[in-house]
Amino acid sequence: MRSHFSPIEPYRTGTLPASDGHIVYFEECGNPNGIPVLFLHGGPGSGCRAEHRQFFDAGRFRAVLFDQRGCGRSTPLGSLQSNTTPDLIADIEALRYLLGIERWIVFGGSWGATLTLAYVVVHPARVAGMVLRGVFLASAGELDWYINGLGQALRQARAELDEGLTSTERGRLIQTYAARISSMNPAVRDAAALAWLRYEAAAMNVPLPDTLTPQSRGKALVQLHYLANGCFFDADDILRRLRALQTIPTIVVQGARDRICPPAAARSVAAAIPGAELVLLADEGHAASAELMASALIDALDRVAEKYGNS
């Protein structure tokens, strides 16, 4: 199996005017007459990157990527107005209509998997298949693990988050940081954004940032907005609605060593979706770019695509 395809450039880029002044960036890559597949990026707040295009066989797929509200190349960057999961679902449907796509495969990892699940229960007739990675259900238990469970292994990064906070603020860390990053004081805002992003980088085992860019500041703002509001996502309700779906070809690819999104959520989702397959990679973590993970995702997309038109 291959881990990535060669880099490609979009054959089309554009913007989608959305509600309340949001302008959503999108791009299409690969074969204009290929099997349509929608890529939903993680985060929340991260945006799409050029390497995301390399999951797609340019001869087989018509890949659609877009930066969610307030993220990446969408504007206004970091805007929280009318920025909720239902708003993103509305954008997905508006984009599908704009592009003249009847049904598409949806490919999402981490927060992108969360958004995929939120979308499919509202518009199941528009989803021809799903590839999910590193499933996140935005539950209180998952958020507590990310801050407190994982925080025990990331003592220095967690200490940086806790610095200067009262015990009450430390007990409501996400809400505290969501408030601080929205402060009218630029110094408070930037310190909160940088500490939060450094904690995320430590969790991902990537180099810790020392400075902020407009994109990274916007990412932190959007991410904390979503996490402080439970990602506008009811896991119990979503799982119940998934069980009621007709069969949609679905493969869930999960790293057994994923410490950002541990495997329990992936197992719950795979058990809830009729006919879903769970691929558990014993030596992989959260990163989609890791060679074995990327290979498994490309293989999963190929196998879901084989059923396109029959589902």
User: Which residues participate in catalysis according to the annotation?
Assistant: 110, 258, 286
**Apex 227 CA angle, 128 and 39, nearest 5:** 25
CB 38 within 8 A of CB 64: yes
Peptide linkage before 32 cis (omega within 30 of 0):
no
Sorted by sequence, the CB contacts under 8 Å of residue 149 that are 6+ apart come out as: none
Quote the CA–CA distance of 49 and 195 in Å, as a whole number: 23
In the chain, the DSSP E strands lie at 12-17, 23-30, 35-40, 61-66, 104-109, 127-133, 250-255, 277-281
Is-contact 5 54, C-beta < 8 A?
yes
Tokens 């940032």, residue?
209
Q: Please give the Cα distance from 152 to 148 (Å, whole number).
A: 6
> Contact at 8 Å (CB) between 68 and 24?
yes
Decide: 159 and 151 in contact? Cβ < 8 Å: no
Contact 110, 52 (CB under 8 A): no
